[in-house]
Structure 1
Amino acid sequence: MDQAETYGAGQLPVGRKIGFTNKSIWPEYNIYASNWGYMYANTVLSLRENPTFEFNQRAMSLQPRIEPEVVLRMASAPSASMSDTELLDCVSWFAHGFEVVQSIYRDWKFNSAETTAAGALHQVLLIGRTIRPAASASKEEFISALGDVKVDLYRNQELMDRGGAKNVLGNPLNALRHLCEILENQSLHPRILPGEIITTGTMTKALPISVGDRWHTTLQQDGLQSVAHQGKGFESAGVEFKLREGSYPIHVEKSLALSNE
């Protein structure tokens, strides 16, 4: 995390993605365990500042797919032994957005170890408006409402799949605890640090992207809106994908400001 001179500012890890938390897609890939990988300063972006995302030809050759996810940012370090409410206290904000994943393996055929070696397939994370619990809401209410969020995923106005936060090990906070368990049982990588951004896994199938696609989500989240700060729940996400000449693997106009706002 401290290797700025070695890696360059754009390649510094700023968080982690958790892969294969949605067990409904395990048979499709013949993968039956979750994994994780790092995300970097130049692969974590604001969806509000990047509603159009530009691939180059080589990045498109990595067979990108799109995943609607729940994202969170750590205010303090979590641990697997914490209760749900204690984990919630460790989070400074939540958001809805897209992770774009990629495969260096032809036709998305791989085993579990290969997906981990490929950075858990991370390419870019696009984050929407951030939210946090309302001061007047109970922590239990917010956690329950978070797990009840449902999502419809559209490509070019056509409904492609339906899912929800319950697909992510029952609740995005369960995915966070699961990542803590993995890291606490190995010594190669540090445990989750304050300030890290965590994306918790796809709520639907991961679907292939083509140049010119416009993807968006609609959300059912009445319960979450009632317990979120200022009544603002997750913002529906939308992005258009275009092709450009540029450096590999992605072209970045603006990096996400990693703040509490």
Structure 2
Amino acid sequence: MDQAETYGAGQLPVGRKIGFTNKSIWPEYNIYASNWGYMYANTVLSLRENPTFEFNQRAMSLQPRIEPEVVLRMASVPSASMSDTELLDCVSWFAHGFEVVQSIYRDWKFNSAETTAAGALHQVLLIGRTIRPAASASKEEFISALGDVKVDLYRNQELMDRGGAKNVLGNPLNALRHLCEILENQSLHPRILPGEIITTGTMTKALPISVGDRWHTTLQQDGLQSVAHQGKGFESAGVEFKLREGSYPIHVEKSLALSNE
């Protein structure tokens, strides 16, 4: 489906996902470069409003996996030539959440071009509480603390993997810069615009989801809490997956209008 067909199907792009920014998972998939894909109004959801996510049979047939990520929303147009602090100024908020990825290719066997053709494997993004830097904190302190965030990923109370924001090209802002670099060399696609939501890549392995799973994260982020507005760091994420009959769930509310608090 090309972009015109996507618009015709009622899918409004609201942002981009960046794939394969975590180089530690490259050998698992035999993929050695990152890519990106669009996210849509019906695939970008509030985690607080969707603590339970219902798959239908078709969605489950696409071998879903879960990825804990750092998400951000653009306030202005970023550029690859910008410094870290200039990129930070382009961001209105950050959040922690889950991306659910999918594969139309059996057993997750594909090449780089195939993943790009499949929308960079995006299925849905679930976004938690949003945060922003404290006015009293230096930009450099916030950027450093953002990169120091660590995450433990649990399935049904069992620790499945550990990771952190440093796995995302060293810092989520580096992932944003990398996406800018890619787009500045792709004339067919527009640059990132104000209001777009960007999810920066998995901080752990991407792990298979089964119906009935309850996934949650715990975070180590003392440094981030000390430099975030009102001392509020990322909120630990949690979601339960269930099966339902019917069509793919459509949620269009609060896609780009997620809280700026």
Query: Which TM-score band applies after superposition, normalised by the shorter structure?
Result: over 0.9
Deviation of 1:186 (Å): 1.5
Q: Which residue of 2 aligns with 1:231?
A: 231
In the alignment, is the contact (CA less than 8 A) between 2:196 and 2:256 conserved in 1?
A: no
Structure 2, unaligned runs of 5 or more: none
Residues 8, 236 of structure 1: alpha-carbon distance in 2 compared, 3 angstrom cutoff:
farther
Deviation of 1:250 (Å): 6.2
Deviation of 1:5 (Å): 11
Structure 1, unaligned runs of 5 or more: none
Deviations 1:199-257 (A, max 9, x none): 00000000000000000000000000000000000000000000001213767787563
In the alignment, is the contact (CA less than 8 A) between 1:49 and 1:254 conserved in 2?
A: no
Say which SS state the counterpart of residue 11 (structure 1) adopts. coil
Deviations 1:132-162 (A, max 9, x none): 0000000000000000000000000000000
Residues 29, 230 of structure 1: alpha-carbon distance in 2 compared, 3 angstrom cutoff:
same
Residues 2, 136 of structure 1: alpha-carbon distance in 2 compared, 3 angstrom cutoff:
farther
Moved more, 60-69 or 248-257: 248-257
In the alignment, is the contact (CA less than 8 A) between 2:14 and 2:256 conserved in 1?
A: no
Percent sequence identity is: 100
In the alignment, is the contact (CA less than 8 A) between 1:59 and 1:250 conserved in 2?
A: no
Q: How many residues are matched?
A: 261
Q: Which residue of 2 aligns with 1:39?
A: 39
Say which SS state the counterpart of residue 72 (structure 1) adopts. strand
Say which SS state the counterpart of residue 10 (structure 1) adopts. coil
For the residues of structure 1 that align with 2:251 and 2:243, how far apart are their CA atoms?
10
For the residues of structure 2 that align with 1:260 and 1:9, how far apart are their CA atoms?
29
For the residues of structure 2 that align with 1:81 and 1:236, how far apart are their CA atoms?
33
Tell me how large the CA RMSD over aligned residues is.
Answer: 2.2
TM-score (norm 1): 0.95
Residues 6, 250 of structure 1: alpha-carbon distance in 2 compared, 3 angstrom cutoff:
closer
In the alignment, is the contact (CA less than 8 A) between 1:183 and 1:189 conserved in 2?
A: yes
Deviation of 1:191 (Å): 0.5
Q: Which residue of 2 aligns with 1:18?
A: 18
Deviation of 1:260 (Å): 3.1
Deviation of 1:259 (Å): 5.0
Say which SS state the counterpart of residue 24 (structure 1) adopts. helix
For the residues of structure 2 that align with 1:259 and 1:195, how far apart are their CA atoms?
12
Residues 187, 163 of structure 1: alpha-carbon distance in 2 compared, 3 angstrom cutoff:
same
